[in-house]
């Protein structure tokens, strides 16, 4: 699955915890900065061991937290940032404020910062297939005029990453190198069908991301896809890729 490319039922337009109209920053970022500033120096260092001063650390802390939802624990998203640590209880966004009313939303949606969320039905399926593997944090979808979307959603932090992409078995027309390690892929059906992944690496996993594509590609097992279809859940389009 590729991430949605435009606003709609799989990517509602809005902001985490609303937006501060004075500085156009999200309420989530403002809350995280305030929390960080209120901690003792030792706790600040534990949360985000930034080499700069306190002002810089507080400024960059929200971005560091956001990265925890789309990257693997232990990843360094920047040379001057510490490796990502597990998500702390205060860190998940509490609600997402949309700028318009949505009559329907998918069972898997993307919010801002490439963070994805799933509804309770999809969460239950994932938990059944891979118990305790992935992390889910409740988030309320709020809409204009005090309305709340009638489904419970959860931000999803995928718990397993693999390096199973097989360049030698993939179609050269489907992908290209992005630096020494990363790769990028084209997103048409025929291009996705040309991507190959080694089952000896991903094994019996049902939901994972590839280290060389990270949030750019989310992989589902055939079994997970079948359960999604059986429950008549709506997700962004899922493409068939090659297993080798």
Residue range 162-207, pLDDT digits in tens: 999 998 999 988 887 877 767 888 888 988 999 999 999 999 999 9
Specify the pLDDT at position 30.
95
Residue range 16-29, pLDDT digits in tens: 999 876 677 999 99
In whole angstroms, how far apart are CA 178 and each of 67, 77, 107, 133, 185? 20, 16, 31, 29, 10
* This prediction's pTM: 0.93
Residue range 211-222, pLDDT digits in tens: 988 778 899 999
The pLDDT confidence band at residue 3, using thresholds 50, 70 and 90, is very high
Which residues lie below 8 Å from residue 157, measured CB to CB, with a gap of 6+? 68, 69, 87, 134, 135, 136, 137
Whether pLDDT at 52 is above 80: no
């Amino acid at each position: 699955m590729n991430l949605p490319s435009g606003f709609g039922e799989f990517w509602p337009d809005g902001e985490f915890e609303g937006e501060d109209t004075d500085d156009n920053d999200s309420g989530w970022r403002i809350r995280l900065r305030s929390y960080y500033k209120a901690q003792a120096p030792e706790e600040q260092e534990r949360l985000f061991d930034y080499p700069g001063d306190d002002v810089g650390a507080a400024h960059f802390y929200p971005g560091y937290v956001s990265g925890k939802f789309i990257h693997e624990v232990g990843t360094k998203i920047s040379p001057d940032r510490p490796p990502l640590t597990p998500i702390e209880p205060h860190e998940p966004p509490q609600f997402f404020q949309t700028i318009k009313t949505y009559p329907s939303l998918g069972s898997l949606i993307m919010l801002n910062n490439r963070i994805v969320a799933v509804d309770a039905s999809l969460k239950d399926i994932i938990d059944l297939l891979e118990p305790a593997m992935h992390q889910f944090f409740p988030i309320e979808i709020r809409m204009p005029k005090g309305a709340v979307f009638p489904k419970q959603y959860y931000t999803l932090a995928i718990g397993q990453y693999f390096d199973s992409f097989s360049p030698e078995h993939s179609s050269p027309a489907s992908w290209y190198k992005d630096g020494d390690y990363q790769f990028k892929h084209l997103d048409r059906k025929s291009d996705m069908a040309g991507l190959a992944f080694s089952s000896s690496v991903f094994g019996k996993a049902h939901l994972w991301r590839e280290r060389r594509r990270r949030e750019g590609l989310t992989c589902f097992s055939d079994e997970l896809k079948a359960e999604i279809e059986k429950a008549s859940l709506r997700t962004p389009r899922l493409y068939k890729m090659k297993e080798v």
